[in-house]
């Protein structure tokens, strides 16, 4: 069984997806981490995040492995576990650029689909219900006011030890939103058969409860 959760940055997808997966005993696939891992390598290689040709060449000599430890997902790039290095503002900005490159999306497509063959999955990202798992059993699209999302993302960053103004987080998030929603390849849009949930005034537990109610109606 595959459950997809798509939505913009800072909407709470990761937290909700992780919890839902744990409650159901499913694997949790964070696809943003895969784009971030590619971005991490692009940054390390000193390549411009918009240099499509060099990034395509780079992917030719790159290996990416997804491991599940209990239900937590780890990402290994060329054998190195980079999971804890993926959530910095620099990697976020680069990931948004590299995710607009068709060769990157093509390269990550089979890697994502293979996880669906390992067992039941809760997969979250931007194009999961539309492109990666179009025949998923259940699809959710989460959205929330941009200010609310910036506050959530800011709290996450502060908790991880990053310093910076909330206005900067808001600007970065709005810029990424525009990039993610308007790119020509796999833009962020709800799948026609996705159930939308506005999380602006809901806490994590309330969102998960709503989802579980839908899951039990389907099972
Ligand atoms: O969800 P996230 O913030 O970790 O995602 C990082 C970037 O990757 C974000 O700018 C959008 C992109 N992304 C994507 O294009 N498609 C996905 N399925 C997941 C993430």
pLDDT at 185: 86
pLDDT at 107: 98
pLDDT at 180: 85
What is the reported pTM?
0.92
Structural domains of the chain ordered from first start? 2-196 (3.40.50.300)
pLDDT at 9: 87
Mutation probe of ligand 1 site: the residue of 41, 86, 95, 132 with most atoms within 8 A of C-beta: 95
Q: Which residues of 174-200 are buried (b: 16+ CB within 10 A; e: fewer)?
A: bebbebbeebeebebebbeebeebebe
Q: In Å, what is the CA distance from 17 to each residue of 2, 85, 182, 208? A: 12, 20, 25, 8
54 CA distance to ligand 1 middle (Å): 21
Q: What atom in ligand 1 is closest to the CA of residue 99?
A: 15
**Atom 2 of ligand 1: nearest residue by CA position:** 32
pLDDT at 60: 97
Residues of the chain with pLDDT under 70: none
pLDDT at 67: 96
pLDDT at 171: 94
Listed in sequence order, the residues at least 6 apart from 104 whose beta carbon sits closer than 8 Å to its beta carbon are: 35, 38, 55, 59, 98
């Amino acid at each position: 069984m595959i459950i997809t959760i798509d939505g913009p940055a800072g909407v709470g997808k990761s937290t909700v997806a992780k919890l839902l997966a744990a409650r159901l005993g499913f694997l949790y696939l964070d696809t943003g981490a895969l784009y971030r891992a590619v971005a991490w390598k692009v940054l390390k290689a000193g390549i411009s995040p918009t240099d499509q040709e060099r990034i395509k060449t780079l992917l030719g000599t790159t290996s990416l492995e997804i491991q599940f430890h209990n239900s937590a997902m780890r990402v290994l790039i060329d054998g190195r576990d980079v999971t804890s290095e993926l959530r910095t503002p620099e990697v976020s900005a680069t990931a948004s650029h590299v995710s607009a490159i068709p060769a990157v999306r093509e390269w990550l497509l089979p890697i994502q689909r293979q996880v669906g063959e390992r067992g039941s999955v809760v997969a979250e990202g931007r194009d999961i219900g539309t492109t990666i798992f179009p025949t998923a059993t259940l699809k959710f699209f989460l959205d929330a006011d941009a200010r609310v999302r910036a506050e959530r993302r800011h709290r996450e960053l502060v908790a991880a030890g990053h310093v910076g103004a909330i206005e900067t987080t808001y600007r970065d998030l709005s810029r990424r939103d525009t990039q993610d929603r308007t790119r020509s390849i796999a833009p962020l849009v709800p799948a026609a058969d996705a159930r939308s949930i506005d999380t602006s005034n809901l806490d994590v537990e309330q969102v998960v409860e709503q989802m579980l109610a839908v899951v039990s109606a389907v099972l």
